[in-house]
Amino acid sequence: MTDKSDKTPQDLFIRVLQVKPEWASILVTNGFTTLEEIAYVPIEELNSIDGLDERQIQNWRALARRYLLVQIPEDRDDGDPLPTAVVRPPKPNSGGSGAGI
């Protein structure tokens, strides 16, 4: 689910999270390589990086989640329709004739 122009995780972080290249490199050095990780890992993992503050982390998480939510529908193939629920009619009650009274 990445833009084709994002050649590295750093490029993706710079574009989507709007971070400076230094911070993008620090994130990758600390094992973060996808937006899913930024968005959904326990916050303690991001808090363990020296120099990050809570507000900055929450902002990055919000940006990553927003991007992921928007990209899911856009990344689907044109020939692959969104899944739809199958609605089945209710089963008739057993023991009845089915005729109206």
Domain architecture of the chain: domains with CATH: 9-74 (1.10.150.20)
Nearest one of 16, 8, 32, 7 to 68, comparing CA atoms: 16
Length of the chain: 101
How far is CA 40 from its chain centroid? 8
Tell me the pLDDT tens digit for each residue of 42-92.
999 999 999 998 999 999 999 999 999 998 665 555 555 544 444 555 666
**At residue 12, does pLDDT exceed 50?**
yes
pTM: 0.65
Contact 52/46 with Cβ under 8 angstroms? yes
pLDDT at 48 (0 to 100)? 93
- Residue 76: per-residue pLDDT: 54
